[in-house]
A and B are shown apart, each in its own frame.
Chain A
């Protein structure tokens, strides 16, 4: 239960956003998730210039494991030149596409490992044993003949007929977004249930239980833009305001979406690699969400909305200053205060 949104502003920049709510055992609501994280270790960024983050939806442990695996793999590659050359012999500078492909490989490996653990626990054999039709028990060959076991194993391996026992492995999706010096800012989506890795050609993408609502807001923004604008001319501040509006909407209308937002900004134009990926996950992201809500309710002008979003998110101005100033420019302080406290105004 999540929403992960990504948007491209231009060839070099874009952003991601997510909520922080997680659901434990169907009923417990916890604002404790860390859904979008950078997956590129500093040494890899130093070597290649690439920055990227992965935002996962589905089983938190699966998303976390994918991030853990990819980060460690890239750290190994950055530290071992031979390994690096072996992996990318013809491309001295790997692109984000390569990172996305590597992420998908790790996701596949994780899926196979988990399914093998599940099958071993249940029947004592692995996917490979199933494919060859037998397994070895000590030195004795055991043929897998039981029809019901064969049928079920096929379902577990392929997710045909969506067996509930392995849903937590398959019901996972993620967005990997980032920047590299060759392809610029890109968005990719990985789906374990659909066994797919896809580059996103559109302006935005949204995954998670809140994506049905968020995508309406992002689609509405996208349809106002010409194809030239969608390709590389989105005003980052305007795009950010709509990204937050989409996340707000998911939080309002979707179960399992809520809490503070984590906003990740990518800017390949920055010379300093450390500044190419910036996270805004503190009170500023909450205030940015409130500013967009105030704007949607017609309590602050579009001009002031853009100014606040720019100063908070892009210029890094402190929370306190904007929180004070917000009230001075709104048309009705009582109404705004009530709106932000959850009243039906």
Chain B
């Protein structure tokens, strides 16, 4: 199912995070989702001074189809217009409306496929209560057939074959010159587009827990800060923390995260869109875990996250600094391995003895770097 959390960091910037877990047959856990995708090409982004991403949860095939179709429409339109001023999708709002339209089309296609397969007619035929079969006009009168069609169209009714699709939701986040950074939400049940009224938005299985973390952050900000923005790194840390928490407390949320940062105020196009994936995203999650467990101090946490986001140093270098900045590398290592450290012998956790896990000289805890006799 996955979860998506998005946060507006300032009037021109924001970030989105998503995990990669999905499931099959109601039980199989897979880490295969690729939930956040940029919708516009670098040429469009540069020409329009704009960036938009789509993040989907639920059936991954539907999300993939919607993203592919939106990209095709945008690219096609862009190729055929005379300049940015003629391009119909030059705001995030317009792209969000297109996303909703494509979302509706993809759901409708599936409904039509089922209707065709079962009864030989489509949704329009059902609405007009008749269809043509060869030269014959067939009226749709059978009550059981009508009830089944309604069940396919109305998500509130039970239709097993389409139920997973009706769990789909999408989030459109982006920056445009006119409106700054905005977040929109669409869902398969209402099939309407909503502008997120708050500074954050949560979708999917982890929305209930992720929203607590982001609500906590937003609640601590004044109205001015919420409108104009707050510390970018602070926001990112809390966003990553919200993903950590959902992964801890929610089913169907897990694996590596993908983090996308959109900064409309950036001076160059390549700095407008930053994507942090794979080991970097995993390490970002670990840094935040270490910080929230009071093992890594605030200054060092902010410094490491900033370095990671700005790609100033490599992952192994940042990882080395993380372990070197805590009192006990052994303690942090066990936390990151998922141990319930509260019931492990405190003397062992805090031991100054060289940790053999790092015996290759890769990393050393702060204490082990101290000179002999140093207090």
Residues of chain A whose beta carbon lies under 8 Å from any beta carbon of chain B: 1, 23, 26-30, 209, 212, 252-256, 260, 282-283, 286, 290, 319-320, 323-325, 327-328, 333-334, 336-337, 340-344
Contacts and interface: CB of A to CB of B under 8 A. Distances in A.
A333 B358 CA distance: 7
Nearest to A290: B337
18 contacts: A23-B251, A27-B252, A29-B251, A253-B29, A254-B29, A255-B27, A255-B252, A256-B251, A286-B339, A324-B356, A327-B357, A337-B333, A337-B357, A337-B358, A341-B333, A341-B336, A342-B338, A344-B279
B156 to A, nearest CB: 17
B28 A28 contact: no
A163 B348 CA distance: 53
Nearest to A340: B337
A283 B362 CA distance: 26
B208 interface: yes
Contacts of A26: 251
B340 A260 contact: yes
Given A333-B358, A333-B359, A342 B252 contact: no
Interface centre among A256, A260, A290, A341 (most CB of B within 10 A): A341
A344 B337 contact: no
Contacts of A254: 27-29
B356 A327 contact: yes
Contacts of B278: 344
Q: Across the A-B interface, give the 10 residue pairs with the lowest CB-CB distance, nearest first.
A: A327-B356, A327-B357, A341-B336, A340-B337, A320-B348, A255-B29, A29-B251, A333-B360, A209-B27, A337-B357
B286 interface: yes
B122 to A, nearest CB: 32
B337 A282 contact: no
Contact of A341 (B28, B286, B348): B286
Contact of B29 (A252, A325, A337): A252
Contacts of A260: 340
B251 A27 contact: yes
Contacts of B28: 253-255
B249 interface: yes
Interface centre among B208, B248, B251, B282 (most CB of A within 10 A): B251
Contacts of A209: 27
Nearest to B362: A334
Given A327-B356, A328-B359, A283 B340 contact: yes
A29 B248 contact: yes
B356 A28 contact: no
A260 B360 CA distance: 29
A28 B362 contact: no
Given A319-B344, A334-B362, A341-B336, A256 B250 contact: no
B245 to A, nearest CB: 11
Interface centre among B27, B28, B256, B344 (most CB of A within 10 A): B27
Interface string B339-357: 1100111001000000111
Contacts of A334: 360, 362
B356 to A, nearest CB: 4
Interface string B22-40: 0100111100000000000
B205 interface: yes
Contacts of A319: 344
Interface in B13-53: 23, 26-29
Interface centre among A27, A209, A283, A319 (most CB of B within 10 A): A27
